[in-house]
Amino acid sequence: MENSVDLNNVKVAFSHKNDGELRKTIFIYRLIQRPFLVVILSKVAGWILKYKIPLKFLLKNTVFKIFCAGQNRKEAQITMNKLKEHNVNTVLDYVAEGDNSEASFKINLETILENIRFVSLENKEPFVGVKLSGLEDVDFIKTVGYSDSSSDAEEKRRKEQFIERVNEICALAVSKNVKVYFDAEEKSTQDFYDLIVEEMMRKYNKTNSLIYTTLQMYMKDRVAYLEYLVEDAKEKEYLIGVKLVRGAYMEKERKYAEIAGVKSPVFETKIQTDYSFNQAVTICLKEYAIVATCLATHNQQSVELALKLIEQNNIINHYERVFFSQLYGMSDNLTFNLAKGHYNSSKYVPYGEVEKAIPYLLRRAEENSSIEGQTSRELELLTQEKSRRKK
């Protein structure tokens, strides 16, 4: 089995960037390496949202340019085509956060449905990303349970409408043979989302894994939940789709737990999270006959573990059962070298209006400015490629 992949080959990693693009990427990464500049960027973003200050050009030509594929589907398509030339698949993801109006939920639903139709025609390996908080108000979700015990007619109607929106997405995806990755979110809503996506997997993943739940492995209960899913799938005869991530809301979860006076649901250390993630990788790839797995990670050790397990478990059809995905603008060394090695490798390709993408962009900037973030590693690889080209 092919497993001789050099994940540090910078020539392959940045083959999609010309010299000008490479220089600009290095410049942006040097900026966001400085935490005080990220704080300034956050304030500017806040002013843009609150006071409608016309400074979005500043974001559009810096972090937006690096981490987003465009403001609309047409601009995103240019990026998708460019990635396709390097055998890199795409997970198309409409980024729209912060607007909790019913009108915005309807727009988001229609956009997701249109994305499914679009990628089914554009890509041999079509994927879309879906954020469930874009389909119903998070505060409402926090107040309701999954059971039908509610006596409030309006509450019951809204809950049923939300579930039907998710069902509509899944039904279309299955009819178009498109894989849907439902993102994980905060603990306060995740339990409800888990139950909904479980039901969709039972309903639609009968012969193929097209509906995927996402497990944030910094949560202490996720390995046990994964083991439950595997047993449930065996018992009820359906297939599982699992996207594994480390997690994106660590500080929020700790703060919420402190306020509530309860134990934090997330691990205390990165080492514990890494162990949890790799446990999940091991379980999923051992059960590859019923579990299709997406490793949405920038951690090279976890990717190397997966490559080793593909070989050990003799997963001959790994291109259909094991997927690797990294965010657009990050960890090109993993994405492009995996694709070169004939693994199913993709980029999460977010697009959307600059204003609506601000929360997403700030998470990327903050993530990359943290001590344990990606920036120093990204810069190291980018500058290696710049030096290589000079030589």
Confidence class of residue 38 from pLDDT cuts 50, 70 and 90? low
- Which pTM was predicted? 0.91
In sequence order, what are the residues at sequence separation of 6 or more whose Cβ sits closer than 8 angstroms to the Cβ of residue 307? 3, 5, 343
Count of CA atoms in the C-beta half-sphere (13 A) of 141: 23
Lowest-confidence segment of 236-250, 298-312, 368-382 by average pLDDT: 368-382
- Model confidence at 45, pLDDT cuts 50, 70, 90, reads low
Q: How far is CA 22 from the centre of its chain?
A: 24
* Closest of 317, 331, 336, 341 to residue 377, by C-alpha: 331
Average pLDDT over residues 125-144: 92
Higher pLDDT, 3 or 216: 216
Q: pLDDT tens, 46-57?
A: 666 565 655 667
pLDDT, one tens digit per residue, over 247-256 is 888 888 899 9
Residue 2: pLDDT band with limits 50, 70, 90 = very low
Residue 180 has pLDDT above 90, yes or no: yes
Which burial class, exposed, middle or buried, applies to 121 when counting CB atoms under 10 A from its CB (0-12, 13-18, 19+)? exposed
The radius of gyration of the chain's CA atoms, rounded to the nearest angstrom, is 20
- Do 115 and 171 meet the contact criterion of CB atoms below 8 Å apart? no
Which of 11-15, 93-97, 324-328, 356-360 has the weakest average pLDDT? 356-360
pLDDT of the residue at 100: 82
How far, in whole angstroms, is CA 31 from its chain's centroid?
24
- Interhelix angle 270-286/222-236, rounded to 10 degrees, is 10
pLDDT at 61: 75
Longest dimension (CA), the chain: 72
Per residue in 68-87, pLDDT tens? 899 999 999 999 999 999 99
Q: How high is the pLDDT of residue 85? A: 96
CA–CA separation, 213 vs 293, rounded Å?
A: 10
**Distance, CA of 360 to chain centre:** 11
CA distance 353 to 356: 5
The pLDDT of 229-248, averaged and rounded, is 96
Quick count: other Cβ atoms within 10 Å of Cβ 301?
11
Q: What is the mean pLDDT of the chain?
A: 89
Binned at pLDDT 50, 70 and 90, residue 63 comes out as: confident
Indicate the pLDDT class of residue 312, thresholds 50, 70 and 90.
very high
Tokens of residue 259, six digits: 């306020």
The residue-averaged pLDDT of 283-288 equals: 98
Please give the C-alpha separations between residue 108 and each of 102, 112, 159, 165, 368, in angstroms, as whole numbers: 10, 6, 17, 10, 28
- pLDDT tens digits for range 98-124: 678 899 999 999 999 999 999 999 888
Segment 242-249 mean pLDDT: 92
Name the 3-class secondary structure at 190: helix
Note whether 244 and 296 are within 8 A (CB).
yes
Q: Which of 15-19, 28-32, 214-218 is predicted least confidently?
A: 28-32
| Per-residue confidence band for 356, with pLDDT thresholds at 50, 70 and 90 | confident
Whole-angstrom distance, CA of residue 23 vs CA of residue 27: 6
- Please indicate whether residue 290 or residue 43 has the higher confidence score (pLDDT): 290
Q: Are strands 127-130 and 240-245 parallel, antiparallel or unpaired?
A: unpaired
Work out whether strand 291-296 and strand 322-327 pair parallel, antiparallel, or are unpaired.
Answer: parallel
| pLDDT for 371 | 45
Among 369, 337, 348, smallest CA distance to 14 is for 337
pLDDT band at 33 (very low <50, low <70, confident <90, very high): confident
What the chain holds in terms of domains, given with CATH numbers, is 10-390 (3.20.20.220)
What is the C-alpha separation between 253 and 251, in angstroms, rounded? 5
Query: In this predicted structure, what is the pLDDT of residue 369?
Result: 55
Percent share of the chain, pLDDT over 90: 69
Spatial contact of 170 and 200, defined as CB atoms under 8 Å apart: yes
Assess whether pLDDT exceeds 90 at residue 378: no
